[in-house]
Amino acid sequence: MLDGDMEMTVFYIMELGQKLPEMPEEVKTEENIVKGCQSKVWLMSAMEGEKIHFIADSNTAITKGLVSLLIRIYDGQTPENILHSDLYFMNRIGMERFIGTQRSNGFAAMIKQMKLYALAFKTKMEVKL
């Protein structure tokens, strides 16, 4: 899927980013920034019933595309599912080859942040029970 011509792949990823639902400017705050990304990424989450929803944005088109891929996977999942997910698909679809080390660090930070949100919601739910 992402292992064809590099330029077309990059263009495709940027197009994915354009489809990402808009994140309101007022929540693009310092505390919602995911550390470790070379370009800026803002990430927020909310619980709806038993499922987590994410909104995110980036100041660069390519990172935004990558973020949108993650959101597609994790949005609407239960905390349990997110915590136990294994993103093996990234290598399978040829994604790692253009998420260089510097950026994959940021990418890893983003996944970690999403899992942290999941953990927080899971803990909150258990406390309520």
Candidate list 19, 21, 27, 38; residue touching other proteins; CB under 8 A:
38
Q: Which of 37, 43, 73, 82 is catalytic?
A: 37
Check residue 60 for interaction with other proteins (CB under 8 A): yes
Amino acid identity at 53 = H
Candidate list 16, 23, 45, 63; residue touching other proteins; CB under 8 A:
63
Phi (first) and psi of residue 91, to 5 degrees: -70, -35
Rounded Cα–Cα distance for residues 114 and 79 (Å): 10
Check residue 16 for interaction with other proteins (CB under 8 A): no
Rounded Cα–Cα distance for residues 54 and 32 (Å): 12
Check residue 10 for interaction with other proteins (CB under 8 A): yes
Amino acid identity at 94 = G
Check residue 5 for interaction with other proteins (CB under 8 A): yes
- Give yes or no: 35 in active site: no
Amino acid identity at 93 = I
SS3 content of the chain, % helix, strand, coil (to 5): 55, 15, 30
Candidate list 1, 11, 21, 27; residue touching other proteins; CB under 8 A:
11
> Which of the residues 65 through 94 are near other proteins (CB under 8 A)?
none
Q: Active-site residues: which are they?
A: 37
